[in-house]
Amino acid sequence: MRTLTLIPAYGRDYGSQKAVAADFAADKDFIVQDVSCRWDGKMVNRMEMRGHYNQAHIRYSRLTKLTVIKI
């Protein structure tokens, strides 16, 4: 299973998993935060990940919480 860790882009932050999932489904940009990935630090959205990754681990709430979203 291929997984990618992401954080919100453009200074966005979320207070709930539901808000994270809604923006991810709406193809909003997130920043890759995964040192094992050559795209570390680059922006990505759900459509760009489709076919390459099975799930996304997204940090939110000042990066203190984590949600897993299947792609």
37 within 8 A of 51, measured Cβ to Cβ: no
Domains: count for the chain: 1
Closest CA to 28 of 39, 40, 44: 44
Per-residue tens of pLDDT for the chain, all 71 residues: 799 999 999 999 999 999 999 999 999 999 999 998 899 999 999 999 999 999 999 999 999 999 999 99
Question: Containing domain of residue 64, as a range?
Answer: 3-70
pTM of the model: 0.92
